[in-house]
Structure 1
Amino acid sequence: MYLENVVIDAQDPQRLGRFWESLLGCTTLTDDPGGSGDAGSFETRLTVADGPTLDLCFEQVDEAPTPDPRLHLEVFGGAPAEQARVVERALALGARHLDLGQRDVPWVVLADPEGNPFCVMEDRAEYAVSGPLSSLPLESADVERDLRFWSELSGWTPTDSAMPGALRHPSGRGPLLELCPERRAKVAGAKNRVHLDLRLEVGEELDDAFGRLVELGGRERAHDWGELPWRVCLDPSGNEVCLLPARPAASEVRG
Structure 2
Amino acid sequence: MYLENLVIDALDPQRLGRFWEAVVEGERLTDEPGIFETRLAVPGGPELDLCFQQVSEPAPPAPRLHVDLAGGPHQDEEVARLLALGARRLDIGQGDVPWVVLADPEGNPCCVLEERAAHAGSGPVASLPLASADPDRDAAFWAWLTGWTDVTGSAPRSLRHPSLRGPLLEMVAEAAPHGPTKNRCHLDVRLEAGDDLDTVAAGIAERGGAPLRTDWGDLPWTSFTDPSGNELCLLPARA
**TM value normalised by structure 2:** 0.99
Q: How many residues align?
A: 239
Please say if 1:68 is aligned against 2:62: yes
Give the residue type in structure 2 aligned to 1:126. A
> What code does the residue aligned with 1:109 have?
V
Q: Distance in 2 between matches of 1:132 and 1:21?
A: 11
Cα distance per residue 1:186-220 (max 9 Å; x no partner) = 11x32110000000011212111111111111001
- Indicate the residue corresponding to 1:225 in structure 2: 216
Among residues 67, 84, 87, which one is paired with 1:92 in the alignment? 84
Counterparts of 1:217 and 1:130, CA distance in 2? 29
Matches of residues 1-255 of structure 1 in structure 2 within 5 Å? 1-32=1-32, 34=33, 40-79=34-73, 82-187=74-179, 189-248=180-239
How many Å apart are 1:156 and its aligned residue? 0.2
Q: Which amino acid in the other structure matches residue 173 of structure 2? A: P
d(CA) in 1 for partners of 2:60, 2:101: 15
Gap runs ≥5 in structure 1: 35-39, 249-255
Q: Which amino acid in structure 1 is aligned with residue 199 of structure 2? A: D
TM-score when normalising by structure 1: 0.93
Counterpart-to-counterpart distance in 2, 1:102 and 1:67: 15
- Check conservation: 1:156, 1:170, Cα contact below 8 A: yes
Judge which range, 148-157 or 224-233, deviates more: 224-233
Amino acid aligned to 1:135: S
Measure the CA separation in 1 of the matches of 2:47 and 2:112. 21
Q: Do 1:205 and 1:245's aligned partners in 2 also have CA atoms closer than 8 Å? A: no
SS in 2 for 1:153: helix
Distance across 1 between alignment mates of 2:220 and 2:110: 31
Contiguous gaps of at least 5 residues in structure 2: none
- Bigger Cα Rg: 1
Query: Residue 67 of structure 1: CA displacement?
Result: 2.7
Cα shift at 1:229: 1.6
SS for the counterpart of 2:153 is: coil
Which runs of 4 or more aligned residues in structure 1 lie more than 6 Å from their structure 2 counterparts after TM superposition?
none
Q: CA offsets, 1:62-84, max 9 Å, x none?
A: 010123100000100002xx101
Task: Tell me whether 45-54 or 203-212 shows the greater mean CA deviation.
Answer: 203-212
CA distance in 1 between counterparts of 2:126 and 2:168 reads 6
